[in-house]
């Protein structure tokens, strides 16, 4: 085994935005990171899908308003063909409808273009780990507004169908997931092992019939199961 084989693989990032300056600025910062690699750029949604097919990035930073194909439609196509790829919406607009459409399309996060560098890099790393990025300082109320745009969040009829009821511990962990905490942070807060948290998260996903944390959090918020 060579030294290169032993080194941890870098997070492969694709940057899709129709503004050249945004691609150059964010791309430069990403390229400086020891754990990231900017594998490609796209200037519209259709090119983003094509480049994803070609480069198979781990994370796509996706603008919403682009020519030829919108970022939302591009996310839908990427998720249907490469569901393992994580997409983070990159936009100027802190708008409920955009967030709602992004979640429905399969994006795991929502990042404003005026975010500082550290927030942008943290979003990429969080997305790569499969964590939802809607309960950050950038969009603390965004996911709640998305949830509120659906059915009322009170009453038994709004609760999502569950394969099994949650245990008390699973309910605790679900609440922390809604706050945007990582597994290690949940473990520290609840004073349990991180492996135990991972097991509970897996069971929560199974009980909701969801594929990722974002879907679970959205379903729980809409059903009034978390604050």
User: How do residues 147-193 score in pLDDT, each as one tens digit?
Assistant: 555 543 333 344 566 667 889 999 999 988 888 788 899 999 999 99
User: How do residues 86-124 score in pLDDT, each as one tens digit?
Assistant: 999 888 866 667 777 777 788 887 888 887 888 889 889
What's CA 72's distance to the chain center, in Å? 14
pLDDT at 215: 73
Q: How many angstroms separate the Cα of 8 from the Cα of each of 35, 36, 60, 198?
A: 8, 11, 20, 22
Task: Determine if the pTM surpasses 0.85.
Answer: no
User: How do residues 4-40 score in pLDDT, each as one tens digit?
Assistant: 444 458 999 999 999 998 899 999 999 999 999 999 9
pLDDT at 208: 81
Residue 13's DSSP bridge partners are: 38, 59
Residue that has been written with the tokens 């349990």 in this structure: 192
Strands 86-91 and 109-112: parallel
pLDDT at 94: 63
Cα separation, 143 vs 145, whole angstroms: 5
């Amino acid at each position: 085994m060579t030294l290169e084989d032993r080194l941890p693989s870098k997070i492969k990032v694709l940057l899709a935005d129709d503004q050249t300056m945004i691609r150059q600025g964010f791309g430069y910062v990403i390229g400086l990171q020891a754990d990231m690699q900017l594998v490609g750029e796209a200037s519209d949604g259709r090119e983003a899908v094509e480049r994803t097919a070609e480069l198979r990035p781990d994370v796509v930073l996706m603008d919403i308003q682009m020519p030829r194909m919108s970022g939302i439609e591009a996310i839908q196509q990427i998720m249907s063909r490469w569901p393992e790829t994580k997409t983070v919406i990159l936009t100027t607009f802190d708008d409920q409808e955009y967030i709602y459409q992004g979640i429905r399309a399969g994006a795991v996060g929502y990042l404003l273009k005026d975010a500082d560098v550290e927030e942008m890099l943290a979003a990429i790393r969080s997305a790569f780990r499969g964590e939802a990025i809607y309960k950050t300082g950038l969009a603390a109320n965004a996911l709640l507004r998305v949830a509120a745009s659906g059915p009322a969040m009170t009453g038994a009829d709004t609760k999502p169908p569950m394969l099994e009821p949650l245990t008390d511990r699973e309910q605790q962990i679900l609440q922390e997931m809604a706050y945007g905490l990582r597994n290690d942070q949940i473990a520290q807060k609840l004073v349990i092992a991180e492996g135990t948290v991972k097991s509970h998260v897996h069971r929560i996903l199974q009980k909701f019939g969801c594929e990722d944390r974002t879907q679970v959090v959205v379903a729980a918020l809409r059903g009034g199961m978390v604050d």
